[in-house]
Amino acid sequence: MTVFRKSKKLFGDAQRVIPGGVNSPVRAFKAVGANPIFISKAKGAYLYDVDGNRYIDYCLSWGPMILGHAHREVLDQVRKVMVNGTSFGIPTPLETHLARMIVQAIGSIEKVRLVSSGTEAVMTAIRLARGCTGRDKIIKFIGCYHGHVDHMLVQAGSGATTLGSPSSPGVPRDFTKHTLLLPYNDPEMIGRAFSKYRDQIAAVIIEPIAGNMGVVPPADGFLKTIRRLCTKNGSILIFDEVITGFRIRYGSVQEPFGVKADLTCLGKIIGGGFPIGACGGKKGLMDRLAPSGQIYQAGTLSGNPVCVAAGIATLKLLKSKGTYPALGRAAKELCDGIGKALSGRDIKHTINRVGSMFTVFFNPDPVIDYVSAVKSDVGRYARFHSAMLGEGIYLPPSQFEACFVSTEHKHKDMGKTIAAARKASL
Ligand code: KE4
């Protein structure tokens, strides 16, 4: 019987001094109706909580820990750099090194600005798109999440192609009146939006493989349709690859999809577990950013040597041959096993997987967009999460998130996870 006594006490302590007891809402386990576990340490594929329980971790800090936790070679590089100072607020050669690795890995990126979070990367991309086009409107897709910047916290307007309204208190209506929310994987709707707003659209921002409604891949041709419409109307195409960047392959998903973005947002993996984000694109766009251009963007700790050292070490290790096929094989073995376990118990579900990111939806039908995703049985997911936690398996505490596999997840970990799925009380 898994005990959470110390975590429960720590959660009470935390709630007295931190809103909701957490520093990011999803960590509070509200979506699975439980108290969060508090972590004491992590190594490889495993988390260890303050009660001494060990978990196989499929959340991996929401994606960054693709090499597993506390990777020796990443920490060695961080140690080497940090003893020489941690932040100077003036350039270091390390930033150029990481920027060059990103440029060499992603064909659509000629220059890149490093920042400290995915949210900042998105903020930068949208301001750049608006500044370069002189237009205001932005298209985003229902179910995609691009960080907590005001104009991205939008709920769909009343009609199909009406502009959005705030989805959070504290966001003035004026801040979202230029944001249009469209259904993911619906080429007809985006065609109608461009017909209606044509040369008013500064940019379209999309998760090329959605991870924030659970994993939802793009329908065939959907991304190419968006690319064609953006090119035709002089709008900027922004791929938010904060999750997918260096997750599916060494670089972006633009190459396998045959769609080049004008701007790409990155984060998570490129920081190797340290705070980072990045916005990259063609020189003609990127050079419009201050100080080479007039479009302002800044950050005290942007590109700081510690985070950048972790990112460089991580990308170097990811570059080694065979990394991504092995990640894909491990995730396939896991998803096939979980699928068989649940089907064997006649539990209706669907699993979406791309490479080493996946979601088990408790949904009898295909999940192809937000409307189909939210038909999932979130109560059953909560019971699944709790049962798996009790068996030492840590899944994201929400049905609408992505699971990830790292290079440290071994065959025995998959076997234990599949066995747990076979007996989880649902
Ligand atoms: P951050 O500001 O949290 O570093 O990145 C925002 C962001 C931007 N774009 C995409 C596609 C993202 O997935 C994210 C953040 N992802 C969430 C989990 N899906 C982070 C977890 C959290 O909010 O606590």
Q: What is the pLDDT of residues 104-138, one digit of tens each?
A: 999 999 999 999 999 999 999 999 999 999 999 99
pLDDT score at 73: 98
Q: Could you give the CA distance from residue 410 to residue 59 in angstroms, rounded to a whole number? A: 16
pLDDT score at 164: 80
Residue closest via CA to ligand 1's atom 7 equals 147
Tell me, using a 6 A CB cutoff, whether residue 243 lines ligand 1. yes
Q: Could you give the CA distance from residue 306 to residue 119 in angstroms, rounded to a whole number? A: 20
Q: Locate all alpha helices (DSSP H) within 83-203, ordered by sequence.
A: 93-105, 118-133, 173-176, 187-197
Give yes or no for residue 160 having a pLDDT over 80.
no
Report the percentage of the chain scoring pLDDT > 70: 98
Q: Which two tokens mark 99?
A: 């920027």
Find all residues with CB under 8 Å of 160, minimum gap 6, and list them: 182, 189, 192
The overall average pLDDT reported for the chain is 96
CA of 243 to the centre of ligand 1 (A): 8
User: Can you tell me the mean pLDDT for 212-228?
Assistant: 98
* Cis? peptide before 364, omega within 30° of 0: no
Which segment of 72-86, 167-181, 234-248 scores lowest on mean pLDDT? 167-181
pLDDT score at 206: 98
Q: Is 232 a catalytic residue?
A: no
Give yes or no for residue 93 having a pLDDT over 70.
yes
Confidence of residue 305 (pLDDT cuts 50, 70, 90): very high
Q: Could you give the CA distance from residue 302 to residue 94 in angstroms, rounded to a whole number? A: 12
* Longest CA–CA separation in the chain, Å: 61
Q: Could you give the CA distance from residue 417 to residue 384 in angstroms, rounded to a whole number? A: 12
Q: Which two tokens mark 253?
A: 């998903």
In this structure, CATH architecture of domain 5-70+322-423: Alpha-Beta Complex (3.90)
Q: How deeply is 80 buried, as exposed, middle or buried, from its count of CB atoms within 10 A (0-12, 13-18, 19+)?
A: exposed
27, 60, 242: which to mutate for ligand 1, most atoms within 8 A of CB?
242
Tell me, using a 6 A CB cutoff, whether residue 26 lines ligand 1. yes
Which one from 57, 186, 240, 369 is the annotated catalytic residue?
240
Give yes or no for residue 159 having a pLDDT over 70.
no
Domain ranges of the chain: 5-70+322-423, 72-318
Q: How many CA atoms lie within 13 A of 74 on its CB side?
A: 26
Q: Could you give the CA distance from residue 175 to residue 51 in angstroms, rounded to a whole number? A: 45
Confidence of residue 158 (pLDDT cuts 50, 70, 90): low
CA of 279 to the centre of ligand 1 (A): 14
DSSP 3-state of 68: coil
Residue closest via CA to ligand 1's atom 22 equals 24
Distances (CA, A) of 328 to 16, 253, 266, 378, 406: 42, 14, 21, 27, 10
Angle at which helix 187-197 crosses helix 222-233, to 10 degrees, equals 10
Q: In CATH, which of 3.40.190.10, 3.30.300.130, 3.40.640.10, 3.40.630.10 is domain 72-318?
A: 3.40.640.10
Q: Which two tokens mark 179?
A: 């944001």
Number of Cβ within a 10 Å radius of residue 2: 14
Ligand 1 atom with the smallest distance to the CA of 268 is: 4
Predicted TM-score (pTM) of this structure:
0.98
Q: Is 240 a catalytic residue?
A: yes
Give yes or no for residue 2 having a pLDDT over 80.
no
Give yes or no for residue 265 having a pLDDT over 70.
yes
Q: Is 394 a catalytic residue?
A: no
Tell me, using a 6 A CB cutoff, whether residue 352 lines ligand 1. no
User: Can you tell me the mean pLDDT for 189-216?
Assistant: 97
pLDDT score at 395: 98
DSSP 3-state of 295: strand
Which one from 137, 140, 260, 268 is the annotated catalytic residue?
268
How far apart are the two ends of the chain, measured CA to CA in Å?
A: 17
Number of Cβ within a 10 Å radius of residue 97: 14
DSSP-derived pairing of the beta strands 263-267 and 236-240: parallel
Tell me, using a 6 A CB cutoff, whether residue 241 lines ligand 1. no
Ligand 1 atom with the smallest distance to the CA of 277 is: 4
Say which DSSP state 391 is in: T
DSSP 3-state of 226: helix
The 10s digit of each residue's pLDDT in 329-363 is 999 999 999 999 999 999 999 999 999 999 999 99
Which amino acid is residue 236, in one-letter code?
Answer: I
The 10s digit of each residue's pLDDT in 226-245 is 999 999 999 999 999 999 99
